[in-house]
Structure 1
Amino acid sequence: MVQGNDLPDFAQKMVDMLNKAGAAMMVSVGHRTGLFDAMHGGAWKSSAGWAREAGLSERYVREWLGAMTTAGIVEIDRIAETYRLPPEHARFLGGNADAVNLAAMMQWIGVLAPVETEIVECFRNGGGVPAAAFGRFREVKAAETELSLDLDATIALSAGLRERLIEGIDVLDVGCGGGRLVRELARLYPNSSFTGYDRSPRQIAEARVQAEGLDNVRYAELDGTAMTDHRAFDLILTFDAVHGQRHPDALLARIRNALRPRGVYIMQDIHAHSSHAGNVNHPLAPFIYTMSCMHCMTVSLSQNGAGLGSAWGVELAQLLLAEAGFDSVAMHRLPHDLRNAYFVCRAN
């Protein structure tokens, strides 16, 4: 039997993949339990010390530290048997991260894994897995959107938009989820009026409770493809909300119809190419295709939808935007956002 470093290159690659998958799950646990936040200061402590600091069971913390040290994420003092999170790693881990919190992204492993058996059946029989099967999906997606979105940078993509918001315009967020971004914009621009649509009754109910006291916000339980608004909004926003729709082309056409002359539509969506070959060197391509197969594509197919998937690609996105009637489409990347492209769209 071949062992350890004697493995052929491809076999070693597969072993490395298994180790990284295990580490990703433990990074997610570190994020959700607050261990990375507790370790953020760079101190050295024993497993018992870190368990006390985070208010957790020492036995579980000790095993977690084993995964983190062998994965090269946490450092160990072999003599003192103490551990620390190096400052250069802490920049990317936990709620106190001063760069992007990559630990939060690792939650997707646990979110997607429980539907593997259903996905295997879809491979054999077709169809899809409905959104209701995914447990924490909306919770994790909402948290990730909050982490990845820079509202100031997004608004700045369209010249003069900030000034118009200050003066007062009508704004719509399609697929608003719990409505946090709508509320944040409403507080920043009190002269503008903000509307959020989402098809989830629970999310809209939560959004309405959270918006109490904000006179310039309203929410409605509505699927974007059922919108009947005509020239009602000056700015429409979607955040990672188009590619997984049952009928993305219909949604974009409805958005175009709801936009006033001189209006702006900003679509944040996955940055990828529309072909497999075009994504060979994409740093997040395996994850994007996995997310697509395990959620975005299959949820759309469960509704007899188009099933475009996460990697629908900028080429197809630009084509569908043009077919929806947008005369001008400019794609941008923002340096803080590893995963998304931003399409600024206008129609005469």
Structure 2
Amino acid sequence: MCNNCNLNIDAERTDEFGQKLLQIVNHSGLSFMISIGHRARLFDIMSEMEHATSSQIAEQSGLNERYVREWLGAMVTGGIVEYDSVLKTYFLPAEHAALLTRAAGSNNFATTMQWFSVLGSVEDQIVDCFREGGGVPYSEFARFHEVMAEESYNSVVCGLFEHILPLVPGLEEKLQTGIEVLDIGCGSGMALIEMAATFPNSRFNGYDISEESIGRAQASAAERGLTNITFRVQDVARIDQPEAFDLITAFDVIHDQAQPDVVLSQVNASLKPGGTFLMQDIAASSNVEQNISNPLGPMFYTISTMHCMTVSLAQGGAGLGTCWGKELACEMLQTAGFEKVDVQELPHDIMNYFYTTTKAA
């Protein structure tokens, strides 16, 4: 018997919530269509075209017209593409292209939309985890490393020299002179490769547990002809290189670790006295009530449930999750031996905090 049948229900409130759910249904559909538009390069192509028919767009992109036309239907009804009903032509406004094309760099929302199909591929396993506990390993996530590389390019590489490295006073000068650098959880190595190309007097090392990612990184470095960079498959909880590095970076890595406390202790031990640790991680609080007003709160907790938390738990790990938060991050850094931690935000990046700290001399 329904427990709520005899309760007085506010019909207006129910209607408002129904409208919200209807909006979620439509927006969820659009997230998949935006992802497809990105992968098929339709936004990039349309951004260079004037008003065009579906046939013209399909011809220019080398795609099947029927699929392009149906995709355009979603874009028009979703308010992303404009449509001239007389001429039967479609147009991507420049203001929309500025947030949906590869030329947009860190502003490209279409890159992020890919996560929903990636995460959806493991929904059955996640439901099983709700019943049985445990987690889903990295190997189950189709296209994870490919999408992560794109995301890293947007969130790290695009702002690396203009915004991120300047957060540490004097760091660029040291890199010009020549220092030893380690990037943990380097993935496909995009940030490290750009640094190695820009600072040829420094030595760069990238460690990641994924053989696939390290293979991609090695191939990219070789293609660029870089000789001051090395990538290797390595569990970053087992670095075991005491006082070897002047700078260690971790871009969106620590909260995924099975043993984040051990990793941070290894980072401290691996730094030379006076060395710097630069960590990028999600801009959230450790307390859910403080994340209610976070514009990306639902996204963060979704990604955590569907990926960040579960991949850690799959390794028998801590399962910190995406929203481990600034409070816990600072506490763990201090426990690892870093006495003073600076937490900074960048005006162009609403997703991340940047933690900078120095090992005691």
- Which of the five TM-score ranges fits, normalised by the shorter chain? over 0.9
In 2, Cα distance between equivalents of 1:201 and 1:16 = 41
Q: Who is 1:37 aligned against?
A: 44
Q: CA deviation at 1:177?
A: 1.2
2:185 pairs with 1:178: no
In 2, Cα distance between equivalents of 1:307 and 1:177 = 20
2:190 pairs with 1:147: no
In 1, Cα distance between equivalents of 2:103 and 2:217 = 26
For 2:121, which of 114, 135, 143 is the aligned residue?
114
In 2, Cα distance between equivalents of 1:113 and 1:135 = 10
In 2, Cα distance between equivalents of 1:135 and 1:98 = 24
Q: Who is 1:96 aligned against?
A: 103
Which secondary structure does the structure 1 equivalent of 2:57 belong to? helix
Matches within 5 A, 1:40-189: 40-41=47-48, 43-97=50-104, 100-149=107-156, 150-152=159-161, 153-189=163-199
In 2, Cα distance between equivalents of 1:6 and 1:280 = 20
Q: Deviations over 1:214-242 (max 9, x none)?
A: 22111221010011010100000011110
Q: Who is 2:251 aligned against?
A: 239
Aligned-residue RMSD, C-alpha: 1.5
In 1, Cα distance between equivalents of 2:37 and 2:217 = 29
Q: CA deviation at 1:206?
A: 2.9
In 1, Cα distance between equivalents of 2:107 and 2:346 = 13
Task: Report the CA distance shift for 1:120/1:58 in structure 2 as closer, same or farther (over 3 A).
Answer: same
Q: CA deviation at 1:344?
A: 0.5
Q: Who is 2:205 aligned against?
A: 195
User: Which range is displaced more, 95-104 or 323-332?
Assistant: 95-104
Q: Deviations over 1:231-267 (max 9, x none)?
A: 1000000111100100111100000000111111000
Which secondary structure does the structure 1 equivalent of 2:240 belong to? coil
In 2, Cα distance between equivalents of 1:222 and 1:33 = 34
| TM-score (structure 1 length as normaliser) | 0.96
2:345 pairs with 1:308: no
Structure 2: unaligned runs, 5 residues or longer: 1-11
For 2:214, which of 181, 193, 204 is the aligned residue?
204
For 1:257, which of 234, 258, 269 is the aligned residue?
269
Q: Who is 2:285 aligned against?
A: 273
In 1, Cα distance between equivalents of 2:194 and 2:306 = 31
Q: Who is 2:5 aligned against?
A: none
In 1, Cα distance between equivalents of 2:154 and 2:343 = 21
Q: CA deviation at 1:210?
A: 2.7
Task: Report the CA distance shift for 1:232/1:49 in structure 2 as closer, same or farther (over 3 A).
Answer: same
Task: Report the CA distance shift for 1:161/1:46 in structure 2 as closer, same or farther (over 3 A).
Answer: same
Q: Deviations over 1:81-105 (max 9, x none)?
A: 1110011111000212266100110
Task: Report the CA distance shift for 1:72/1:7 in structure 2 as closer, same or farther (over 3 A).
Answer: farther
For 2:302, which of 285, 290, 311 is the aligned residue?
290
In 1, Cα distance between equivalents of 2:46 and 2:335 = 51
Which secondary structure does the structure 1 equivalent of 2:278 belong to? strand
In 1, Cα distance between equivalents of 2:58 and 2:198 = 40
In 1, Cα distance between equivalents of 2:165 and 2:96 = 31
Say whether the 8 Å CA contact 1:42–1:86 is kept in structure 2: no
Say whether the 8 Å CA contact 2:106–2:154 is kept in structure 1: no
Say whether the 8 Å CA contact 2:145–2:213 is kept in structure 1: no
2:11 pairs with 1:11: no
The share of aligned pairs that are identical, in percent, is: 47
